[in-house]
């Protein structure tokens, strides 16, 4: 299997403090890679370096075959990103948001219309396609944000805490969307601090204070740390 993310000794320091401390890992094509850790463990910092919006202090990384330091612009066509902070324009409608983001990825109008219709049909959003985002409930917004982040059909989509603050049912639905994306061959890199969401991932890495303390499939981690769920693994590692 080919690797779509390769990271070697990646570090990001702010003065003496190392937000990300010498991490190395690979992600295979089509995988759901869970990036777990407590708040402030360095997940977002790592993700920002991988998406080319933060300069690494040292180390190397390649995403979709492009260097995260020197080939940022090519890299950006290949990735989608959904930030922790809600990133749709509240004063634009659903359709207008999709059109804008599709447009700045260079899609032509015909493609934008096709993909918008497909997305509206898939998510069952016919009633709210011309509604302002500000009037749409949070759970819906997050699904829309995910679809907007993948409108240009990227190779990899980075999701930063996509499910924080939504109810369990919406979370479940959101993960269905993620599965759908992987079926289309999109690799998913997702950070979360909900340990139970680890079950949904093919592989998990556990970050504690800037370092990757454990990595593997769910079973591997449970056996290795002799735990019954990820919460226990987390508590053992974080101690």
Partner 1 sequence: MFRKIRHIIEKEFKQIFRNKTMVGLIFGMPVLQLFILSYAADFEVKNINIFIQDNDKSPTSTELIQKISSSDYFDIKDVDTYKNGLSLVEKNKADVILSIPQDFGKKINTGNKTTIAITLDAINGSKAGVTQNYLQNIILQFSKEKLNEKIKIDVIPGIDLINRNWYNPTLDYKVFMVPGILVLLITMISLFLSSMNIVREKEVGTIEQLNVTPIKKGEFIIGKLLPFVVLGIAEFTIGLLIATLWFHTPIEGSLLLLYIFTIVYLTLILGMGMFISTFTDTQQQAMFIAWFFSVIFILMSGLFTPIESMPDWAQIVSDFNPIKYYVDVMRLVMLKGSSFANVSYQFIIIVIYSIVLNALAVLNYRKTSG
Query: Looking at beta carbons only, is 85 or 228 nearer to partner 1?
Result: 85
Q: How far is the CB of 85 from partner 1 (least distance, A)?
A: 3
Residue 222 CB burial class (10 angstroms; 0-12, 13-18, ≥19): middle
* Residue 153 within binding range of partner 1, rule CB under 8 A: no
* Residue 194 within binding range of partner 1, rule CB under 8 A: no
Angle, helix 94-104 to helix 109-123, in steps of 10 degrees? 140
Query: Looking at beta carbons only, is 57 or 225 nearer to partner 1?
Result: 57
Angle at 177 between CA 176 and CA 180, to 5 degrees: 90
The encoded tokens of residue 211 equal: 């370092």
From candidates 33, 81, 140, 174, binder to partner 1 by CB under 8 A: 81
The encoded tokens of residue 67 equal: 């260097």
Angle, helix 138-149 to helix 94-104, in steps of 10 degrees? 20
Please report how many Cα atoms fall inside a 13 Å half-sphere around the Cα of residue 219, on the Cβ side. 1
* Residue 98 within binding range of partner 1, rule CB under 8 A: no
From candidates 8, 53, 223, 235, binder to partner 1 by CB under 8 A: 53
Query: Looking at beta carbons only, is 55 or 196 nearer to partner 1?
Result: 55
The size of the interface with partner 1 (CB under 8 A), counted in residues, is 31
* Residue 104 within binding range of partner 1, rule CB under 8 A: yes
What is the distance between the alpha carbons of residues 22 and 17, in angstroms, rounded to a whole number?
13
Per CB under 8 A, residues contacting partner 1 are 48, 51-55, 72-73, 76-77, 79, 81, 83, 85-92, 96, 99-101, 103-106, 108, 158
């Amino acid at each position: 299997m080919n690797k779509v993310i390769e990271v070697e000794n990646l570090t990001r320091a702010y003065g003496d403090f190392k937000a990300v401390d010498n991490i190395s890992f690979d992600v295979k094509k089509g995988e759901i890679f869970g990036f777990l850790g407590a708040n402030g463990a360095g997940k977002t910092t790592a993700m920002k370096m991988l998406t080319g919006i933060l300069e690494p202090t040292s180390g190397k990384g390649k995403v979709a075959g492009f260097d995260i330091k020197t080939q940022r612009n090519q890299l950006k066509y290949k990735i989608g990103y959904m930030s922790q902070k809600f990133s749709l324009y509240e004063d634009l409608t659903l359709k207008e948001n999709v059109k804008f983001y599709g447009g700045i990825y260079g899609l032509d109008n015909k493609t934008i219309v096709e993909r918008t219709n497909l997305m509206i049909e898939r998510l069952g959003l016919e009633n709210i396609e011309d509604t302002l985002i500000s009037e749409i409930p949070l759970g819906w917004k997050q699904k829309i944000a995910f679809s907007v982040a993948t409108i240009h059909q990227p190779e990899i989509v980075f999701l930063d805490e996509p499910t924080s603050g939504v109810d369990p049912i919406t979370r479940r639905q959101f993960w269905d969307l993620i599965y759908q994306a992987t079926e289309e061959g999109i690799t998913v890199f997702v950070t979360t601090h909900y340990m139970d969401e680890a079950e949904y991932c093919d592989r998990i890495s556990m970050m504690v204070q800037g370092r990757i303390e454990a990595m593997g499939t769910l079973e591997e981690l449970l056996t290795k740390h002799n735990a019954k769920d990820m919460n226990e693994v987390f508590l053992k590692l974080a101690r």
